[in-house]
Amino acid sequence: MQIPSDIADLALIRQYLHAHPELGLKEFRTADFLSNLLSDLGLEVTGGIGTTGIVASLRRGKGDRAIGMRADMDGLPISESTQKSYTSRHENRMHACGHDGHMAMLLGAAHALANDPGFKGTVHFIFQPAEENAGGAKLMIDDGLFERFPCDMVFALHNFPGMEVGKFAIRDGCIAASIDGATITVKGKGGHGAQPEKTVDPIVIGAQIVLAFQTVVSRNLGPFDPAVVTVGAFHSGSASNIIPERATLEMSLRATTPEDRQLMIHRLVELATAIARGFGGSVEFEWQAGYPVTINASKAVDVAQHAARQAGQEGIGALDSHNLEWLDNPCMGSEDFSFMLEQVPGALMFIGNGESPPLHSPEYDFDDAVMLFGVQYFTNLARIIFDD
């Protein structure tokens, strides 16, 4: 299979990827498929970065500047229910976040730039594994991504259900929240339900901790500083007349500045420890460090907004002032592209997916009509930067 210049044909590649999703760090078939297509374009392809990651490099001219463009590769452990002709062939594996579309758009941009004899510049097309579960961006960075492929700026697109096809959205600074998780073990002293005075009830302690956590945002952060604390699971006990020895809480937190992220972690531990001690018990935290705050750099946002306004228009100079939305608030979801933005200035842009089911839904599907705009966005970025 070859990368076609026709968007309708490019959709067939997207649909093939959709039918064969792979979970994080297991994207071996996907990586081989992409590598073959990119090699056929004459790009320098390096695989095995951060386990299954790929970088395909296009080098034209003698300049020393370079940019990176990133697409994520992995699917989710979800059984698809779309009933499309290209529905996932694999039980409990699905491209439910549009990564198939992200890969196809970046392939289309690689095709367009590789076949443009007038283009001069260096572009590293980064196909990243494990965005959903293992921080594949960090794994690639730890494997020397930016030492081996230096970039002056790096860019990514993510589809956005509910926003019109052909529209883009961005903001300067924080565009997506951090995510961290913790397992909290509350330790008490078990006993008979008829003699609670002889016990230290971990369920009571856990309940007080859950309620206290609801104040961490409202009483520690300003009213214009978005953040979320969620206790999504509470497990304890086995019978109505037995007070158990321990309880387990599963918690996540999201913040929109690095400072708020650290403050919340500190306050959560401080509150839970004090509450447990006050009741005669104790707590242990087991943290699952997640993704940092996704922070767009101003100079990259400036380039990105121009590239978006030109997408879908006739000619590189045509601008559409109505196809770009400036977001007032960050998205409270998280993105491991944040790891790349900690290393290199860049920007995450959202692209409309129309009135589709939400991300991570078994009914979700990427709209192939989006690809025209995504391919043009990525190619515009390169041309704007290297024509400067």
Active site residues: 72, 132
What secondary structure does DSSP assign to 167-230, as a single string? -EEE-SEEEE--EEEEEEEEE-B-EETT-GGGSB-HHHHHHHHHHHHTHHHHTTS-TTS-EEEE
Least Cα distance to 373 among 70, 168, 197 occurs for 168
Element (H, E) at 308: helix 298-310
Identify whether the C-beta of residue 331 lies closer than 8 Å to the C-beta of residue 175.
Answer: yes
Entry field: residues in the chain: 388
Among the listed residues 368, 350, 372, the one whose alpha carbon sits nearest the alpha carbon of residue 84:
368
DSSP lists the bridge partners of residue 126 as 55, 70
Give phi and psi for 386, each to the nearest 5: -90, -10
Q: What is the DSSP letter of 59?
A: E
> Tokens 């839904």 map to which residue?
361
Q: Choose among 171, 70, 158, 175: nearest CA to 353.
A: 158
